[in-house]
Amino acid sequence: MPHVTADDGAQIFYKDWGSGGTPVLLSHGWPLNADAWEAAALFLAEHGHRAIAHDRRGHGRSSQTWNGNEMDTYADDLACLIEHLDLTDLTLVGHSTAGGEIAHYVGRHGSARVAKLVLVSAVPPLMLEASDNPGGLPLAVFDGIRAGEASDRSQLYRDLADGPFFGHNRNTDISQGVRDAFWLQSMACGHRAAYECIAAFSATDFRPDLASIDVPTLVIHGDDDQIVPFQVGGARSAELIEGATLLVYENGAHGLPDTDRDRLHADLLAFIDS
């Protein structure tokens, strides 16, 4: 299996599908891995693009490092992969936590290799409530997730998959198989990595990163997202990214790559090819 070695020696796993075409790098949400994007990667590769997806450090088949489970290192690992594959004219697609990861990559490393960005159900600009972010979510929300991670993470992941992640608690038609895949991928994440990543996705302030984005950006968000509420995430990010295009999925849940697969694939392909 292909890996790239990060600056601190961590091994970062990646998939590289398709041949020719412009490259698309798909980055996954917490606490999943590259498999969360496999349907989109197959679709894009079959439509002439090179589709790449990696497991963030601590997740899936990448090294479970004790240190580096925060956004600066996630962005630097992404830069390492992009430079290793010498990707240019690249479209970066990030779901949930990875929306922050790709925005932070642009903030730290610039957009010289990037043609476009897509934020899907993404955590920017800042999830955590603060004096200068009164619309954010209370710290107690994330402390609750951390408590579940620490006490019984297997049940936490089942509760997320059976409830708010896919909107299954809203009678969304999502199969047992998809919910089982969420649990399986989540259990492959290192315990410390998953615990530390909760702070990374909730408390990192991405507003300076969004201000630095200077490439065409598509923001996609469901208006019934129970993990990253629309008004906390997509609506505000679209306001802060100059020239961004916002697509709102009516009654859309957080797990759009599965719940709205066909529509999302079509929207990604149209934007990438535009």
Of 35, 77, 225, 267, catalytic: 225
The active-site residue, picked from 96, 121, 202, 237, is 96
- What angle do the packed helices 38-46 and 261-273 form, to 10 degrees? 50
What distance in Å separates the CA atoms of residue 93 and residue 222, rounded to the nearest whole number? 16
Residues 6 or more apart whose Cβ sits within 8 Å of residue 140: none
Of residues 83, 69, 97, 61, the one with CA closest to residue 8: 69
| Catalytic residue flag (residue 168) | no
> Is 225 one of the annotated active-site residues of the chain?
yes
Q: What whole-number distance in Å separates Cα of residue 252 and Cα of residue 205?
A: 25
Residue in 76, 168, 254, 258 annotated catalytic:
254
Name every residue whose Cβ is closer than 8 Å to that of residue 73 and which is 6 or more positions away in sequence. Answer: 6, 8, 57, 67
In the chain, the amino acid numbered 262 is: D
With tokens 């694939």, the residue in question is 265
- Eight-class DSSP state of 117: E
Asked about 180 being catalytic, the answer comes back as no
Catalytically active residues, by annotation: 96, 225, 254
